[in-house]
Amino acid sequence: MTAARLRQLRWRAVHWAWKAARDAGMVTADTPAGRRFAAFGRGSSAAFPTGSVFGERWIVIGEGTIIGAEVTMSAGMVPGQDLGPVPVLHIGDRCVIGRGSHIVAHHSLVIGDDVYTGPYVYITDQNHGYADPDVPIGRQMPLNAAVRIGAGSWLGAGAVVLPGACIGRNVVIAAGSVVRGTVPDHCVVAGVPARVVRSYIPGIGWSVSAESVSAELGAVAVERVEGVAQAADPPG
């Protein structure tokens, strides 16, 4: 057997073994790992390898949802923590959670139906307190605030959703944005902290504010797009 043929066989063996491991390690409603969740919907799956997953008893996953590889889903501070009688993390039906994302719940975190995320998104309902300037932040009591992401929304790669965020329906969160506070339905937000840069107005279409034009394009003229209300061209 030639060296080239041997390398080819080894390559095939490695990839076959990895595929077999991925298939065997996938979490579904019918696997022991899936049955540890408060609910794991029909047709849903979590890819292998998973990230850190614990507190499954307080996590609900809807039907037809896909969880990417290396996604961390946790409820509580540590494995085995008793969070009470009701789940604290809800992921709706037909969602897609991108590879390497972290969803960390302690109080109440709800992701609506048909929410898609890019990779490496971070969503949490708890943040470190920093009220006492003489105590290291990591030792201060954390602060909880409920998080809700409305149905049909999209979160771009690397977006961060902070405690207290309430994101409306069919909202686009631009990649790398940091979201806090309330975001209305049918809009696009971008930046750190995220701000509304486009909004859908019934009967008018998608509007672009002068502020968003300045932030996105440096106050230069905006390309004219049919059906979109545009800011006026700058003087001169």
Report d(CA 203, CA 161) in Å as an integer: 31
Please say if the pLDDT value at position 213 is more than 70: no
92-130 pLDDT, tens digit each? 999 999 999 999 999 999 999 999 999 999 999 999 889
Q: 193, 210, 228 — which closes off a domain?
A: 193
173 and 209 together in one domain = no
Report d(CA 199, CA 205) in Å as an integer: 8
21-76 pLDDT, tens digit each? 888 999 999 999 999 999 999 999 999 999 999 999 999 999 999 999 999 999 99
Number of structural domains the chain divides into: 2
Please state the separation of Cα 216 from the chain's center in Å.
23
Annotation marks residue 128 as catalytic: yes
186 and 92 together in one domain = yes
> Does the residue 186 lie in any domain?
yes
Which residue carries 């937000």 as its tokens? 189
User: Residue 204: which pLDDT band, with cuts at 50, 70 and 90?
Assistant: confident
- What is the rounded average pLDDT of the residues 210-221? 44
169 and 214 together in one domain = no
117 and 39 together in one domain = yes
Report d(CA 224, CA 233) in Å as an integer: 10
140-193 pLDDT, tens digit each? 999 999 999 999 999 999 999 999 999 999 999 999 999 999 999 999 999 999
Q: Which range marks the domain in which residue 212 is found?
A: 202-236
**Catalytic pick from 15, 102, 128, 186?**
128
117 and 211 together in one domain = no
